[in-house]
Structure 1
Amino acid sequence: MLWQPSLPERYTKADPASLARDIADRRQRLGDRLVILGHHYQTDAVIKHADLTGDSLKLSQLAAKVCREKPVEYLIFCGVHFMAETADMLSPEEVAVILPDLSAGCSMADMAQYDDCLYAWDAIHKELDRQGFAGRVIPITYVNSSAAIKAFVGAHGGACCTSSN
């Protein structure tokens, strides 16, 4: 688990209206340099501050497009780890992608751990070798997986799929 410092008390004890004013003030100061992405699972209190809303992949694709059109420096992704990682992969390198809550995870994405993937890959190949299989194994992962799993799949000639394909 990544470590994240506690929020200052002035934020944890603030009422929603004060927080909304603080967010609006920061947004005004940062202008086009800031884009806030809100996954549609977020609460209305979060979504009302989002520049773009939608599902995880679409948000990352839209954010990458906006980053090519405007002088964006910061993308705040109100979502979970794999979503912020995807936005980071698709956005220009100079854009900082921020995940406000480092403990925000996705149980589906967390099902496949990198070390388990390596172990399974080796076990599959050992068994196929034992059986004399000479074909190719093509790994496929779902878009809702970690960047580490996506990198493993890509390094082994695989693909990433979505629920629509």
Structure 2
Amino acid sequence: MTLPSKLSIAALSLSFLSPVSALAVEKTVTSQYVDTSAYLTSEADIEAWYQLTRSLNQNFDAICGDTFCEGEYSNIESLRFRCSVNDQTGQLGQCVWVFAASNEEVDPATGAVTVDAQTWSCQVPLAPSTTIQQLLTALAGTAPLYATLPNTQTTIYEGLGDCL
């Protein structure tokens, strides 16, 4: 066997391997859910998200004493509003608003303080296939707690009534 024929055989065997190695390298793109802060990239969208969370906190603080904070827990605090977003489609998986509160009692005989701590994870009543862009648009402004959620007849405030 001459050198050119050995090279031809080597080249031929490599050509058979090329499609196999190309298949091995090919990746399948699968979608996954990420936190909203990891999904949003434009400065305007990021600012809209932060404004939404600030406004929700302000809206809740303004009504807490007259509504949700009248019962056993008078110090309910908003901890975080968080949403999951499909990284390929922008559709929301779920949004939750987490709250915490406590009730403390002092034992007059011993001075011991007994703490009853409570947390709530309130799911936002989103319509199926709602996107983060639809949510940001619908809840823009100073009163997102009372704004109608996209493709629904309800608000975040009404959803909290079922949770807190």
TM-score by length of 1: 0.20
The structure carrying a bigger strand percent of its residues is: 2
Structure possessing the higher relative contact order (Cα contacts under 8 Å, 6 or more residues apart): 2
